Amino acid sequence: MSLMPVDEALTKLLSGVKPLETEYVPLESANGRYLSAPLVSTRTQPPFAASAMDGYAIRHEDISASRTSLTVVGEAPAGHGFAGTVGTGETVRIFTGAPVPAGADTILIQENAEREGERITVLENPAKGAFVRPAGLDFSEGDVLLQPPLKLAYRHLALAAAMNHAVLPVHRRPKVAILATGDELVRPGTEPGPDQIIASNHAGIAALVEDCGGQALDLGISPDEPVALANHVRRAITEKADILVTLGGASVGDHDLVQSVLGQEGMDLAFWRIAMRPGKPLMAGRLGGTKVLGLPGNPVSSLVCGLLFLKPLMQAMLGQTPEQSGPQRAILASPLPENDRRQDYVRATLSRSANGDLVVTPFSRQDSSMLNLLAKSGALVVRPPHAPALEAGAEVPILVL
């Protein structure tokens, strides 16, 4: 049986995927969304030369080597500039954020001034231009300050607000319909029958979808029965899901119906069966405008395939370049056997040695049903096909979880 290499499958999955269209969201709802168009400033900031300190706006040329005395001719709090001009021998009381009045070019901080009535004495001479923020110090009207690809975070939102954008263009969130399959499954919180288990994959994949900036749509659990399965699949299409994720039923058993039902519904199969462990039965295709990703049922296989395939697919739909930085590296704490033809993603704990190196310790058991170990893992050690046996101390590529 031929198995497709992981990289080839990923390239196939992402080929032709375009970023989703733009929608406009209020600034308050834009945190974590993905910017879809460059953001040009509508303002210059600060819009005027502004004082950076509380003190006195002075003409630097007025200050002599000795203790200069100046006359206070007005006041400029933030939001209320001084309308006149500061003449020779004059000063204006000024506060942080206020426009520096005409005629003045320097701010004397109040700690360095002695005030008596309407006179001040300069106790320590400032440098020319001290504590004046020139107009446009931060940015100018017309500057392109934020550009895709960008996941908007608090820093970008503050900047967008300062640019006076109350509404931002972002990519629509991919709608990801998630359908579990299997007679043995019941929802968390319900009592399973004697031969049943709790469906766990859905919760993990839905959280991954949300983490990646998508919108999870729960299609529930379909029994292993073609008509019921087809009806669930059709719901993903009526709901105009961008991606349909099926969970389980992807392998070769008599009750693994997902691929045949999707085929009957008109799916174009892109690939099935990948040279990876866990995740061999992974399947992908397209059903009309919906991308289909058939994840294996084994819980660890499901989540690892979600990380390696669903995440980059969603990133591409959000205009992101899927992380190309490649794996990090760490020191192996225990030996690993020679690998076979499947690329292995070995669950491992992650720690730091005394000298600061990342250290990975693989779990001795790697069964793809063991969610407990995945939850305890800090990394996956990536073992390429046919990688030779390794001793403790070898450097290995890892994906940090």
Binding site for ligand MOO (CB under 6 A): 277-280, 296, 298, 301, 368
361 counts as binding ligand LQZAQKY5 under rule CB under 6 A: no
The tokens of 363 are what?
Answer: 């779990």
Residue 121 or 366: the one with the smaller Cβ distance to ligand MOO is 366
| Shortest distance in whole angstroms from residue 367 CB to ligand LQZAQKY5 | 10
| Shortest distance in whole angstroms from residue 318 CB to ligand LQZAQKY5 | 25
| Shortest distance in whole angstroms from residue 251 CB to ligand LQZAQKY5 | 3
299 counts as binding ligand LQZAQKY5 under rule CB under 6 A: yes
Contact of residue 62 among ligand MOO, ligand LQZAQKY5, none (CB under 5-8 Å per partner type): none
Contact of residue 247 among ligand LQZAQKY5, ligand MOO, none (CB under 5-8 Å per partner type): ligand LQZAQKY5
Task: For residues 139 and 159, give the distance between their C-alpha atoms in angstroms, rounded to a whole number.
Answer: 10
**DSSP letter for each residue of 289-351:** TEEEEEE-SSHHHHHHHIIIIIHHHHHHHTTPPP--S--EEEEESS-BPPP-SSEEEEEEEEE
Q: Is 25 helix (H, G, I), strand (E, B) or coil?
A: strand
**DSSP letter for each residue of 98-124:** SBPPBT--EEEEGGGEEEETTEEEESS
| Shortest distance in whole angstroms from residue 346 CB to ligand MOO | 12
Task: For residues 215 and 206, give the distance between their C-alpha atoms in angstroms, rounded to a whole number.
Answer: 8
Within 8 A by CB and 6+ apart from 308, the residues are 6, 10, 276, 279, 345
197 counts as binding ligand LQZAQKY5 under rule CB under 6 A: yes
| Shortest distance in whole angstroms from residue 7 CB to ligand MOO | 17
Determine the residue type at 344: D
Region at 215 (left for phi over 0; alpha for psi -120 to 50; beta for the rest): beta
- Residue 317 main-chain phi, psi, to 5 deg: -70, -20
Residue 298 or 377: the one with the smaller Cβ distance to ligand LQZAQKY5 is 298
| Segment contacting ligand LQZAQKY5 by CB under 6 A, of 54-62, 98-106, 292-300, 386-394 | 292-300
Taking residues 320 to 359 in sequence order and writing x for each that binds ligand LQZAQKY5 by CB under 6 A, - otherwise, the string is: ----------------------------------------
The residue nearest ligand LQZAQKY5 at its CB is 297
Task: For residues 362 and 378, give the distance between their C-alpha atoms in angstroms, rounded to a whole number.
Answer: 10
| Segment contacting ligand LQZAQKY5 by CB under 6 A, of 13-21, 180-188, 233-241, 313-321 | 180-188
256 counts as binding ligand LQZAQKY5 under rule CB under 6 A: yes
The tokens of 347 are what?
Answer: 């669950």
| Shortest distance in whole angstroms from residue 263 CB to ligand MOO | 22
**Could you tell me the end-to-end alpha-carbon distance of the chain, in angstroms, rounded to an integer?**
31
**Binding residue for ligand LQZAQKY5, selected from 46, 248, 285, 362, defined by CB under 6 A:** 248
The tokens of 210 are what?
Answer: 């949300």
| Shortest distance in whole angstroms from residue 366 CB to ligand MOO | 9
Question: Which helix H or strand E contains 383, and what residues bound it?
Answer: strand 379-383
Distances (CA, A) of 267 to 98, 264, 270, 283, 286: 65, 7, 9, 11, 5
Binding site for ligand LQZAQKY5 (CB under 6 A): 180, 182, 184-185, 197, 199-202, 247-253, 256, 278, 280-281, 296-299, 301, 368
